[in-house]
Amino acid sequence: MKTLFDREIYEVFTEPVLVNAKHFLWIATANIKMTLVGYKGRFISFPDLMSIMVDRGVSIRIIHAELPSGPFRQRYDRIDTNGRLSSCVEFLYCPRMHAKIFIVDGTHALVGSSNLTGAGLGAKSGKKRNFEVGILFEGSH
């Protein structure tokens, strides 16, 4: 168990763990915004990352309180030609969801204050980043 703050969330969890999910990614979040994450030396949108994950066999479930932002939905819809992406991604709208949990492959879980946003996942610069904290649990139990 590790406590992560701000940029550490990105450096210890988002880029090395979340981005490399192999089997499943489960997320509980209040907000979903157009988020950019590092992938193979460049930054891509979270919908693009979801597409890459789906291509490698990862199933994704997201429980969320707010509707995803317009830019997120537009990019997702642009990528989701012929329903390939949405066939492996499940969105569950729950207006009272306030938990923030990211579970990757049943081996890593981040529980804390991070929403599915760039600021929440520590991907923003220090001047634009929220003050976030997360507890990272590692290992299958």
pLDDT in tens, 22-57: 999 999 999 999 999 999 999 999 999 999 999 999
Backbone angles phi, psi at 114, to 5 degrees: -75, 120
pTM of the model: 0.93
The pLDDT, as a whole number, for residue 128 is 64
Q: In whole angstroms, give the CA distance from residue 16 to residue 97.
A: 27
Secondary structure (H, E, C), 14-68: HCCCHHHCCCEEEEEECCECCCEEEECCEEEEHHHHHHHHHHCCCEEEEEECCCC
Name the helix (H) or strand (E) containing 73.
helix 70-79
**CB atoms closer than 10 angstroms to residue 123:** 21
The pLDDT, as a whole number, for residue 21 is 98
The pLDDT, as a whole number, for residue 124 is 65
pLDDT in tens, 74-131: 999 999 988 989 999 999 999 999 999 999 999 999 999 999 998 888 776 666 667 8
Name the helix (H) or strand (E) containing 76.
helix 70-79
